[in-house]
Chains A and B, each alone.
Chain A
Amino acid sequence: MIKSIQELEEIRKKALEELEFRKQQGEGIRIVVGMATCGIAAGARPVMLKFVEEIQKRNLKNVTVVQTGCIGLCKYEPIVEVYEPNKEKVTYVKMTPEKVSKVVAEHIVNGKPVYEYTIGYEENKEANK
């Protein structure tokens, strides 16, 4: 490892504080990004990365971003599911890094899901075509 021992001690300290915070807050928000072949091909990697960056930037300590495999809806990829404790899961479809910024600001921070990006909205739109 390249970092000096002192720097690593710093990171360790910070990490332990973050961990303590997580434990105190209990279950937080989980953001799950679909990373099947089709998701990756459709651009899931930059989407997931954008979530990680935004969460870091805003210092949202109780949010985790994880990946999963096939969600089973290729044509809607990249797909992102947001799980909040005691709330219904929200599924976002055809995600882009730009959409991520809005989802983080409105949904993750302010608790209001962005309906126009959800699967429900998309399906409605298709049904009315």
Chain B
Amino acid sequence: MNELSLYILDLVQNSIEAGATFVKIEIVEDLENDIFLISIEDNGRGIPKELINEVTNPFYTTRKTRKVGLGLALASQLAKDCNGKLIIDSSENGTKVKIKLQHSHIDRPPIGNIVDTLLLLVCGTPDVDFVYVHRAGKKEFVFDTNKLKSVLGEGVPLNLPSVQEFIKEELSKGLSNLFGGANFND
């Protein structure tokens, strides 16, 4: 996969399959320390201890691991390629996956279309609450579906067409602000 936003989509899909009702996605771009950090935290049922080591092994691709997510093996490979590391912290109360990459590494894929990824997650799984935090230097962008729900009123699902349109605009604007007007949509 050639976009970090696709890795994120994939890993969050794991969270959803683990029964999560809440997922927090955090991105920190720390140029001073040359770190690109992606963290995904959920309240799903967690990865069984016996599997934790196996899931990051790209050669261990039986049907069993696929359920947990071949995505973790890909993420682990990505971390290796970009002078970084993958940290998985999982219990029955949830899982936190952190991918730490060298920001300037030549093999680090671009973040890619994070707006599409978030839009599909938020609208494609309307029962899950999402928080997205993206920090770049001193700037920060936060998107929180709970806030959105409280503005829209109880019982209004986020996958209604007019709401989707609104979410897309909101994300595009927020992210382009973060990067000083750079187009974040390609």
Instruction: Please report A residues at the B interface, Cβ cutoff 8 Å.
Output: 1-3, 8, 11-12, 14-16, 18-19, 22, 33, 35-38, 40-41, 45-46, 48-49, 52, 55-56, 59, 61, 64-67, 69-70
Contact = CB atoms under 8 A, between A and B. Distances in A.
A45 B6 contact: yes
A3 to B, nearest CB: 7
A11 B166 contact: yes
Contact of B162 (A18, A33, A38, A48): A18
A66 B124 contact: yes
B120 A36 contact: no
A96 to B, nearest CB: 16
Among all A-B residue pairs, the 5 with the closest Cβ atoms = A67-B124, A14-B162, A37-B70, A18-B160, A69-B17
A35 B170 CA distance: 24
B67 interface: yes
9 contacts: A1-B151, A1-B170, A2-B174, A11-B162, A19-B156, A19-B160, A37-B69, A40-B10, A66-B124
Contacts of A3: 166, 170
Contacts of A35: 9-10, 13, 120, 124
Nearest to B126: A66
Interface residues of B, number: 42
B35 interface: no
Given A2-B170, A3-B170, A69-B16, A55 B161 contact: yes
Nearest to A5: B151
Contacts of B69: 37
Interface of B: 1, 6, 9-10, 13, 16-17, 66-67, 69-71, 74, 113, 116-117, 119-121, 123-126, 147-148, 151-153, 155-157, 159-166, 170, 173-174
Q: What does DSSP make chain A's interface, helix, strand, loop or mixed?
A: helix
A37 B76 CA distance: 14
B145 to A, nearest CB: 12
A16 B125 contact: no
Contact of A37 (B74, B148, B151, B173): B74
A13 B117 CA distance: 26
Contacts of B116: 45-46, 49
B13 A56 contact: no
Contacts of B151: 1, 8, 12
A24 B69 CA distance: 39
Contacts of B113: 45
